[in-house]
């Protein structure tokens, strides 16, 4: 979703991003079909995405590692090299339109859970873009 939101604001070529999980349950697999269906209805095509697990080099490669919830944040902290903890944040810390501090896992729920996740993630992604622009990325201030 962030990748799609970076494109129209001219930041897609300036930001390297990736998606990874803290557990290896679904390595190599595409996102849940329900996630794909709900995302596609909003214009986000997830069909090329494949699951991978966070690796040690991610802490050096990326400036920011965002977790969906506190459990995943704790898992990231557990494997984070010393001195890199400042790179770890909850995704929802960037949200401005929703008061939730975590993105709920809709896996065992129905469609409205997937819609809520999309609402939350869209909000947080807008906040990430605002932060990037405030830092001067892409010439915006």
* Residue 109 confidence class, pLDDT cut points 50, 70, 90: confident
Lookup: tokens for 86: 């400042």
> What's the confidence (pLDDT) of residue 141?
41
User: What CATH code is carried by the domain that includes residue 57?
Assistant: 3.40.50.2300
How many whole angstroms from its chain centre is CA 29? 17
**pLDDT above 90 (res 137):** no
Q: Which domain holds residue 119?
A: 2-139
* Per-residue pLDDT at 16 exceeds 70: yes
Mean of the pLDDT values across residues 13-38?
A: 94
List C-alpha distances in Å: 27 to 61, 75, 113, 117: 20, 17, 23, 21
Please calculate the CA angle 58-62-67 and round it to the nearest 5 degrees: 75
Name residue 67's beta-bridge partners.
90
Number of Cβ within 10 Å of residue 118's Cβ equals 19
Q: Number of folded domains in the chain? A: 1
Q: Give the catalytic positions in this structure.
A: 105
Q: What is the pLDDT of residue 139?
A: 62
Q: In angstroms, what CA-CA distances link 9 with 42, 82, 94, 102? A: 18, 34, 17, 26
pTM: 0.92
CB 124 within 8 A of CB 3: no
Lowest average pLDDT, out of 57-61, 82-86, 110-114, 115-119, goes to: 110-114
Question: Would you say 10 and 30 are in contact if contact means Cβ atoms under 8 Å apart?
Answer: no
């Amino acid at each position: 979703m962030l990748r799609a939101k970076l494109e129209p604001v001219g930041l897609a070529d300036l930001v390297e991003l990736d998606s990874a999980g803290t557990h290896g349950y679904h390595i190599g697999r595409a996102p849940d079909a329900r996630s794909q269906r709900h995302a596609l209805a909003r214009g986000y095509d997830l069909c090329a995405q494949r699951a991978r697990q966070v690796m040690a080099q991610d802490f050096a490669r990326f400036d920011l590692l965002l977790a969906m919830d506190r459990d995943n944040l704790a898992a990231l902290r557990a494997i984070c090299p010393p001195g890199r903890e400042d790179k770890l944040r909850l995704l929802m810390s960037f949200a401005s339109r929703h008061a939730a501090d975590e993105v709920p896992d809709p896996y065992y729920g129905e469609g409205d859970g997937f819609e809520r996740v999309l609402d939350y993630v869209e909000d947080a992604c807008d906040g990430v873009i605002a932060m990037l622009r405030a830092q001067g990325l892409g010439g915006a201030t």
